Chains A and B, each alone.
Chain A
Amino acid sequence: MSRARNALLSALVLVVTRRRRRPKPEETRIVPEQPRNLAAELGVLMLLGLSSLGAIGFILVYAFADSLPAETQLLGALIGLAFLFLAAALVVVGLKLVPTEELAEEYPPHEHPHEQQVIAELVEESGTRFTRSRFFKLGLLGAGGTLGLALLAPAVSFGPLFRVGDFLATPWRRGKRLVDEHGRPYKASDVEENNFYLAFPEGLKGEGKEQMAASLVLIRLRPDQLDLPSDLEGYDAHGVLAYSRICTHAGCAITLYRAPLFQPDEPKPALVCPCHYSTFDPATGGTVTFGPAGRSLPLLPVFEDSNGYLRAKGNFNGPVGPSWWGVRLWGAQP
């Protein structure tokens, strides 16, 4: 059956091509003639059809997406398959249907000495009228350089330069109440052992809460656990400690509190940053016990007022946030 069709087709091709070939005989072809491959042609047509089906399916799913489950999966599968079928068709064309040739040619020459010579002469001979060529070069360099600087100068406006005050400023003041993220003030009694809390200064809203020095992590340690160095004595309110929430390594928020649940593995409470696992000891004033942080976690002194609310007693014992050149030169400003 298919042999008969092949014979018929080849006869047809022979008849058709005979006339066309006369003005262009076989020997002058650039691309060699190779035998036909009907199976591959048929395959390519089928693949193109399948690709088209995928594309139509994509349009249909897109149109009726609301009544279909798994919209993204269906859309992705259909458009992906449409592309892949088209790709398969192209690969079959490349490997089975276009004439396969392997040609050889010379690599380009390593260099072109004559042209090099001409270019060099062109440049050199063009400059012979300049008698002060050294000054000329200097002048050109000067003009180009200063003009370049002038064009770059407006870029300085991008941001404030040499403004270290921003790095030291905090929204904390003596007497400010500590509130939670909804603005409710914390009582010292709200802060329980083996738990940790997010706190802000009272009165900050929206973007104000995003400043690095605003947020705190609140915890409570038992008096027998507490081992603050002498310069931080009185920073806690009967065991309640308010540390800066921003890690001194790379500025992530400290949102892990390792309360000692299992003594052999977790001998001491620790505040941990989940980005690079800098580990701070809250009992000793936020000193680094493991991980890459190079500075202790800043501590905000707090006290319990007569109504039981937590208030700031002053400001952090050092600048908040990741280190920079001046981070050890100043304390946090009031």
Chain B
Amino acid sequence: MTAPLTRRSVRWLDQRTASAPLLRKALRYLFPDHWSFLLGEVALYAFVVLVATGIYLTFFFVDSTKEVVYNGPYAPLHGQEMSEAYRSVVHLSLSVRAGLLIRQTHHWAANVFIAAIVLHLLRIFFTGAYRKPRELTYWLGLTMLTLALLEAYLGYSLVDDLMSGMGLVIGYSVGLSIPFVGENLMNWLFGGMFPGSAALWPRMYIAHVLIFPILIGLLLGAHLLLVAMRHHTQFRQRKAQTEHTIVGVPAWPGQAPRSLGLMVGTAGFLFLLGGLVQINPIWLWGPYHTYSSTNGAQPDWYLGWLIGGLRLVPGFDLVIGGYTLVPNPFWGGIALPLLVFGFLYLWPWLERRFTGDQAFHNLLDRPRDAPVRTGIGVGMVTFVVLIFFAGASDRVYVTFGLGYIPQIWFYRVAIWVLPALFGFVSWWACKELQAGETVLAERHEAEAEARLARMER
């Protein structure tokens, strides 16, 4: 009975959409097999979970900063002045059945989404997957990472709890520090000086739930389309895998259940986290007011490097004749991400300029195959990770008793010295590994020759 039904459905679909040739090709599309190719997929599935849980949250969230008084069941907040936005999230978390589960799952999904993108990016970088003909795919991916960071920051800010307000005012100050245009830009975005006009929250909300998700979705579609058009890259795991021939598991039937399993598994993992591991208990932070803040505040992990950047810069504004050209937050909040993302965007072009490599690449490098790239990449990662650690030096002080000021001075030097050192060591290690392989290959060759000679004798 099943066969006729399958055939009837396929026929019905093809007659109405003329899609059988395309579908046939899609079903036999090849996926080379390597665990690291799943990182991008995890990001995609976390995005799906984000959209699904996010839609649920929109049915409860109120995008207003109108001051109200809390009278709900959570006693510690009784009688406190707060925004309607914060009150609605407290209500969702503490009084709506399954509300906290969905909210925490959404928050965890955001953290995993960005973590998966970053790991995916590292894989792409260190294997040279961005090389011709896949530069566009790479740039689309980087743009999605940028959008994802802004989107996550917006979501974090919307709640209007104490932590989110502190994050928002820092973002405002960073925007204000952009030379020449900062003051007008922030007036324009916020509808006036901080804390902004009543229109600010509806603006942030529509950006978070509509504009950014649609942009990310569109870029995601283009990203996947480009991947499929040029086909996947592959490692040289077998002899048959060459620049011209791709070897892999077909989408149907081999890959489909595995990928679906990964999607469902990602969702399951995120729901487990959302239910069992508390994240951002906003009722404990209390409402934000411009005149309140708290010690020990840490942002979500993906903004840790920017906090570190802001903290490391020595205290000065660049002033020329009374005109404040570069207020301090510019260095950590704008210059640092510009440097890192500028490097990432320009890297394919830079590498091609220095290597003169104009060839098509379908085979991936192992990190050791490109020692210079690996060295520079490790240096860059070390730089960002050290700044990230610098952002946690107040926690290190509390936990381990290491003085805050000495730590900051250590990082102010280390972020320049250690990347160079680690980069050099990685470059050297790659060279050594390459040399080791040559020696091994020569030995195998010699042994084979010797065996042959013995047999002839």
A interface with B by C-beta (< 8 Å): 20, 31, 62, 65, 71-77, 79-91, 93-95, 98-108, 110, 156, 158-164, 166-167, 198, 200, 206-207, 209-212, 214-215, 245-246, 249-256, 273-278, 288, 290-295, 321-329
CB of B259, distance to nearest CB on chain A (Å): 8
Can you sample 20 A-B contacts with CB below 8 Å? A74-B275, A75-B101, A77-B276, A80-B270, A81-B268, A83-B264, A83-B269, A84-B272, A87-B263, A87-B264, A90-B261, A91-B258, A93-B261, A103-B247, A158-B191, A249-B173, A250-B170, A251-B290, A273-B293, A291-B315
B249-260 Cβ-contact flags toward A at 8 Å (1 or 0):
110011111101
Q: A94-B257, A212-B290 are in contact. Are A162 and B184 (CB under 8 A)?
A: yes
Q: How far is the CB of B200 from chain A (nearest CB, A)?
A: 9
> Which residues from 225 to 270 on chain B have a C-beta closer than 8 Å to any C-beta of chain A?
229-231, 240, 243-250, 253-258, 260-265, 267-270
Q: Are B296 and A274 in contact (CB under 8 A)?
A: yes
Chain B positions 26-53 with a Cβ under 8 Å from a chain A Cβ:
28, 30, 33
Query: CA A267 – CA B49 in complex, angstroms?
Result: 52
Which of B326-334, B369-377, B421-429 lies at the interface with chain A? B326-334
Contact indicator per residue, chain B 389-402, by CB within 8 Å of chain A (1) or not (0): 00000100000000
A80-B270, A327-B327 known; 13 other A-B pairs, CB under 8 Å?
A: A65-B98, A79-B101, A79-B275, A80-B268, A86-B268, A94-B255, A110-B360, A255-B292, A274-B294, A291-B311, A292-B314, A323-B329, A324-B176
- Bound: A206/B250 CA distance, A: 63
Give the distance to chain B from A67, nearest Cβ to Cβ, in Å. 12
A328 and B100 contact, CB distance less than 8 A: no
In the complex, what distance in Å separates the CA atom of A290 from the CA atom of B406? 12
Per the bound structure, the CA–CA distance linking A293 and B314 in Å amounts to: 8
Contact indicator B264/A86 (Cβ below 8 Å): yes
B309 to chain A: closest CB distance in Å? Answer: 10
A79-B275, A250-B329, A251-B173 known; A325-B293 Cβ under 8 A: no
Given A94-B255, A276-B307, A292-B314, the answer on whether A77 and B291 have CB atoms closer than 8 Å is no
Q: Is the CB of B275 within 8 A of A80?
A: yes
User: Do A94 and B264 contact each other (CB < 8 Å), given the known contacts A103-B30, A104-B245, A323-B328?
Assistant: no
- Across the interface, which residues of B come within 8 angstroms of A249, CB to CB? 173, 310, 315, 328-329
Shortest CB distance A188–B (Å) = 21
Q: Is B137 part of the binding interface, using a Cβ–Cβ cutoff of 8 Å? A: no
CA distance A291 to B230 in the complex (A): 50
Q: Are A210 and B195 in contact (CB under 8 A)?
A: yes
Q: Which of B168-196 contact A (CB under 8 A)?
A: 169-170, 172-174, 176-177, 179-180, 182-184, 187-195
Contacts of B260 in A (CB 8 A): 90
CA distance A101 to B105 in the complex (A): 36
Cβ B261 vs Cβ A107 within 8 A: no
A274–B275 touching, CB < 8 Å: no
Q: Does the CB pair A215–B290 fall under 8 Å?
A: yes
- In the bound complex, residues from chain B placing their C-beta under 8 Å from that of A87 are 261-265, 268
Does the CB pair A294–B315 fall under 8 Å? yes
Report the Cα distance A158→B183, complex, angstroms.
Answer: 14
Contact between A100 and B170, CB atoms less than 8 A apart: no
Q: Are B254 and A100 in contact (CB under 8 A)?
A: yes
The closest CB in chain B to the CB of A91 belongs to: B261
B275 to A76, Cβ gap below 8 A? yes
Q: Which 8 A-B pairs have the closest CB atoms?
A: A76-B275, A83-B268, A294-B317, A90-B261, A87-B265, A80-B272, A323-B327, A94-B257
Bound-complex Cα distance A18 to B157 (A) = 65
Known: A75-B98, A94-B257, A102-B248. A274 touches B297 (CB 8 A): yes
Bound state CA distance, A101 and B73, in angstroms? 59
Q: Is B324 an interface residue (CB 8 A)?
A: yes
Whether A206 pairs with B170 at a CB distance below 8 angstroms is: no
Name the one of A102, A107, A206 contacting B362, with C-beta atoms under 8 angstroms.
A107
* Cβ B265 vs Cβ A83 within 8 A: yes
Task: State how many residues of chain B have any CB contact under 8 Å with chain A.
Answer: 105
A64 and B190 CA atoms in complex are apart in Å by 44
Known: A94-B256, A107-B231, A252-B293. Contact between A212 and B193, CB under 8 A?
A: yes
How far apart sit A214 and B289, CA to CA, in the bound complex (Å)? 12
Residues of chain B within 8 A of A214, CB atoms compared: 290-291
Q: Which of B189, B263, B271, B394 contacts A159 (CB 8 A)?
A: B189
A253 touches B293 (CB 8 A): yes
Which residue of chain B has its CB nearest to the CB of A79?
A: B271
Instruction: Flag if A251 contacts B170 (CB, 8 Å).
Output: yes
Query: When the two chains form their complex, are residues A295 and B311 in contact, meaning their CB atoms are under 8 A apart?
Result: no
Q: Tell me, in angstroms, the Cα distance from A228 to B246 when the chains sit together.
A: 75
For the complex, what is the distance from the CA of A321 to the CA of B176, rounded to whole Å? 11
**Interchain CB contact under 8 A, A107 and B257:** no
Minimum CB–CB distance from B172 to chain A (whole Å) comes to 6
B75 on interface, CB distance cutoff 8 Å: no
Whether B173 and A250, one on each chain, are in contact in the complex, defined by CB atoms closer than 8 angstroms, is yes
Q: Given A73-B275, A83-B268, A87-B264, are A288 and B324 neighbors across the interface (CB < 8 Å)?
A: no
B331 to chain A, nearest CB (A): 8
B246–A292 contact, CB under 8 A? no
B59 contacts chain A at the CB level, 8 A cutoff: no
The answer to whether B291 and A245 have CB atoms under 8 Å apart is: yes
**CB nearest to B198 among chain A residues:** A207
Other-chain contact of B177, A84, A108, A212, A322 (Cβ < 8 Å) = A322
Taking each of A107, A200, A291, A327, which has the highest tally of chain B beta carbons within 10 Å of its own beta carbon? A107
Are B192's CB and A166's CB within 8 A?
Answer: yes
Which of B98, B246, B257 is close to A90, meaning CB atoms less than 8 Å apart? B257
Chain B contacts for A255, CB-based, 8 A: 292-295
Contact partners of A88 in chain B: CB under 8 A: 261, 265
B323 is an interface residue with CB less than 8 A from chain A: yes
Residues on A with beta carbons closer than 8 Å to the beta carbon of B268: 79-87
The answer to whether the Cβ of B286 comes within 8 Å of any Cβ in the partner chain is no
**Are A80 and B329 neighbours in the complex by a CB distance under 8 Å?**
no
CB distance from A165 to the nearest CB of B (A): 10
Shortest beta-carbon distance, A145 to chain B, in Å?
A: 21
